[in-house]
Every structure is written in structure tokens, then in C-alpha cells.
Amino acid sequence: MFGLVGLLLALVIAGVVAKKQMASVAAPALPSVPGAAAPASGEAPADARTQARQVQQQVKDALDAAAQARKMPDDN
């Protein structure tokens, strides 16, 4: 009986500590994308569709650049 109570008490304490720790960590509003430019201070934020297109284009550009850098000369 005491083992079960002790286990539940440890679980509650661990939950409270984890909740406090998660609350103290401030998560950024938007994830950082390398090479992504932040909007100017006077500029209104773009809608989600526009942001998605921009991220897709940036990923495509990065993949194209990586593919160009990895091309090897043909050995004929």
C-alpha cells in the first residue's frame, strides 16, 4: 500500500516540476528558418499561405544549391 502511495506521490511531484520547467522556458513564436528574412517593423505579417510558399521556395533553393555543389565531373 505504501509503495503505491509513494509511487503516486513521486509521479505528482515529477509532473509539477515538469510543468514549472515547461512554463519557464519561453518558446519562440515562429521557428527560425536559416536564410529567412524577418518582415520590416512597419510591414504587416504575411498570411500563412504566403509564408508557406516562401518557406517552400527557400527549401527548394537550398536543395538546388546543395545539388549543384555536389555534382562531380564525369570520368569518361
Alpha carbon of residue 56 to chain centroid: 15
Measured distance CA(35)–CA(55) in Å, rounded? 10
Q: What is the per-residue pLDDT across 1-56, written as a single tens digit (0 to 9) for each?
A: 778 998 999 999 999 988 888 777 655 455 555 555 555 555 555 688 888 899 99
Q: What is the pTM of this model?
A: 0.34
